[in-house]
Amino acid sequence: MKPFRPVRFISQFADPKTGASDCGVVTTIFAIDYASGGHIRPTPAEIRKRMGIPSGPTKLSDQAAAMATYAKEAKKLGLRPLTMEKLLARPWKEVREAIATGDWVNVQLDYAVVDTAIPALSGQKGYEGHHSVSVHGVRERDGRTEVRVFDPLANGRFPDIPRGPQWWPLAVVRDAAMSFAAEAGPGLASAGVVKRSEPLEGPGVVPADVGGTPTAKLREQLEAAEDRIDELEDLIGVLRTALATSSDLVQEIDAAVPPPVDVGNAVDGAAPD
């Protein structure tokens, strides 16, 4: 029996044809990866085909619809169908509770809030449109609550762009989510909540800890490993910056090769569809 594997990070620019609007597509891939224990990892093109949307922005309802099409693949792995619960324009506390319980949560954001509040963690400087990110993991650090964010824009394409999952203040995620759903009312947010798929009876892919929870020691080791990964990612950022011979050279590169631009994530209606 195979154990669950950690979610693999990819950039929304993995497919150059549609990458500018693939934030929702890529967070759907993350969610499927998580729900299937790392054993279903579709491409952006495959997700768009299952959504029936060949190009352009996608909605939270499109993410849920695409996940539902993987029932046959899940069954072959010995897993129940993959599902996403849609929280459309719901009180923020419901999204916060899902994050706190350890579910995989795709949150819809107003990226202008992110770019202004935590510019060092922004995946696209100056972007002010809608965006989709995945959130999984919570920690307390320096007196504040932080969450681990899988931002599809964070591909390290320039020295000042982070690469891979980063720890963001939960308050920034909250404010950006509320701003996204502001037209529906104050204090609301939209997100897709995904749980690990339960195993079917018989052989198949099952969690490594079926029959008992991991020991406290193992949890401590995993947390220490995540912290070490954070340190290494920070070091990579420092090294990348040091390799830039001068700010003039970076500006010349920017001018010669304009960075991809995220055109945003569409908005579902205030009422569940």
Q: How many residues does the chain have?
A: 273
Residue 150 near residue 133, CB atoms below 8 Å = yes
4 is a domain residue: no
Q: Compute how many other C-beta atoms are within 10 angstroms of the C-beta atom of residue 91.
A: 13
Tokens of 94: 């419901």
227 is a domain residue: yes
- 228: exposed, middle or buried (Cβ count in 10 Å: 0-12, 13-18, 19+): exposed
Using N-to-C axis directions, what is the helix angle for 60-68 and 44-51, rounded to 10°? 100
For residue 243, the SS3 value is: helix
Residue 48: give its domain's CATH number.
Answer: 3.90.70.10
Domain that holds residue 244: 13-200+212-256
- 50: exposed, middle or buried (Cβ count in 10 Å: 0-12, 13-18, 19+): middle
The pLDDT score that the predictor gives to residue 175 is 98
261 is a domain residue: no
- The residue type found at 91 is P
**Continuous H helices in 107-212:** 111-117, 170-180
267 is a domain residue: no
CA-CA distance, 233 to 124, in Å (whole number)?
18
The pLDDT score that the predictor gives to residue 4 is 83
pTM higher than the cut 0.75: yes
206 is a domain residue: no
Query: How many structural domains are present in the chain?
Result: 1
133 is a domain residue: yes
The pLDDT score that the predictor gives to residue 28 is 98
With a CB cutoff of 8 Å and minimum separation 6, the contacts of 95 are 87, 105, 107, 177, 189, 191, 193
Tokens of 262: 């995220």
Per-residue DSSP letter, 209 = T
Q: Running along the chain, 273 residues long, what does each successive block of 10 average in pLDDT? A: 83 95 98 97 97 97 98 94 97 98 98 98 96 98 96 96 98 98 98 95 47 49 64 60 49 53 62 37
264 is a domain residue: no
CA-CA distance, 189 to 211, in Å (whole number)?
36
265 is a domain residue: no
With a CB cutoff of 8 Å and minimum separation 6, the contacts of 20 are 13, 260, 261, 262, 263
Tokens of 97: 């509770």
CA-CA distance, 84 to 65, in Å (whole number)?
8
The pLDDT score that the predictor gives to residue 10 is 96
Residue 193 near residue 98, CB atoms below 8 Å = yes
The pLDDT score that the predictor gives to residue 220 is 54
